């Protein structure tokens, strides 16, 4: 794992944690877990790639806007959970 950049590892950890919690709270079937994980990854990557920042002075470890990434991941997870997947 020494080859991964800190930002990449942090984004993967955030996406995995969000997807797991969303599956516990919103999931119905096991096949939803990979869909939730991909959705959380997309949300975290969008926040990181678009450099979304709330007007708060929060720390950004490895340049990752953690709060924004988690919020966008959860918005997308809620939308996906409402679809009949």
Is the model's pLDDT at 85 over the cut of 60? no
In this prediction the pTM is 0.89
- Write out pLDDT tens, residues 2-60: 678 999 999 999 999 999 999 999 988 999 999 999 999 999 999 999 998 888 888 89
The separation between CA 13 and the C-alpha centre of its own chain, rounded to angstroms, equals 8
CA dist., res. 42 & res. 51, Å (int): 14
The separation between CA 61 and the C-alpha centre of its own chain, rounded to angstroms, equals 15
pLDDT at 17: 98
Q: Where are the domains of the chain?
A: 6-54+61-82
């Amino acid at each position: 794992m020494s080859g991964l950049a800190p930002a990449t590892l942090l984004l993967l950890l955030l996406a995995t944690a969000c997807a797991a919690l969303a599956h516990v709270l919103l999931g119905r079937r096991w096949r939803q877990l990979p869909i939730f994980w991909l959705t959380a990854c997309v949300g975290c990557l969008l926040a990181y790639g678009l450099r979304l920042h709330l007007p708060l002075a929060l720390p950004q470890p490895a340049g990752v806007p953690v709060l924004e990434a988690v919020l966008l991941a959860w918005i997308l997870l809620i939308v996906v959970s409402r679809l009949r997947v």
